[in-house]
Amino acid sequence: MFQWEGDYWWFVARRRLARALLQAHLPEVSGRMLDAGCGTGALLSELHAQGVAVGVDVAHEALCLTRQRGALTVVQARLEALPFASACFQVAFALDVLEHLPDERPALRELHRVLQADGYLIVSVPAYSWLWSKHDVALAHYRRYTARGLQARLCEAGFQVQRLSYALGVLLPAIALLRWLDRLRPGAPAATVIPLPRWLNRALIRLQDWETRYLLRRRLPFGVSLVAVAQRE
């Protein structure tokens, strides 16, 4: 992940979409930001350039790699037990994190607790159980989501869902085919990050930038991922 997430289209598109959604709902961030499940720190590095940001991850190795990106504030902790005072963040990101938890409900309650009143949570998760493949097994996923299921979990935790949409809709047929082929592939589960020529990687980033602009105005009815903007009530 540390090797790929800086410029690989999937990771770049996910970060740009999340930050565009925040900009649309909260143009000026004055409080602290939390990257919940920061991984190896690409998003956290971008948030740090924008304001005060803290990263949390359970994996020690990931946090060591994050520190190689500069003087970033990181904490090793589980999302189900965040070591922060209540109402101390204005914004929290949880990008492709919830699916890694056996039960995401305690983590969502914790994210609700540490957000200020009217604070925002930006979430992304993988969509559709029928896209399940060895890729999910290799990444230690517990589930994939539907829009209804994600909305239910956010509302149970006390959030008001401001925006909810599928994402990466244009690429759904191609990725569905890859996932189907992955299920048929012999051998042990492995993450499928396919090396691409630079021109194609740039083209996919531009394609997802176009889709992001569309998502800021309308909801996509299908896609490989789900994104949500939820506000603490």
Which positions ≥6 away from 180 have C-beta within 8 Å?
Answer: 133
What is the count of structural domains for the chain?
1
Q: What is the CATH number of the domain that holds 189?
A: 3.40.50.150
Question: Residue 210 domain-assigned?
Answer: yes
Question: Residue 1 domain-assigned?
Answer: no
Residues of the domain holding 192? 9-232
Residue range 195-212, pLDDT digits in tens? 899 999 999 999 999 999
Whole-model pTM? Answer: 0.94
Residue range 148-161, pLDDT digits in tens? 999 999 999 999 99
Residue range 106-144, pLDDT digits in tens? 999 999 999 999 999 999 999 999 999 998 999 999 999
Asked if residue 122 lies in contact with residue 229, where contact means CB atoms within 8 angstroms, the answer is: yes
Asked if residue 131 lies in contact with residue 102, where contact means CB atoms within 8 angstroms, the answer is: no
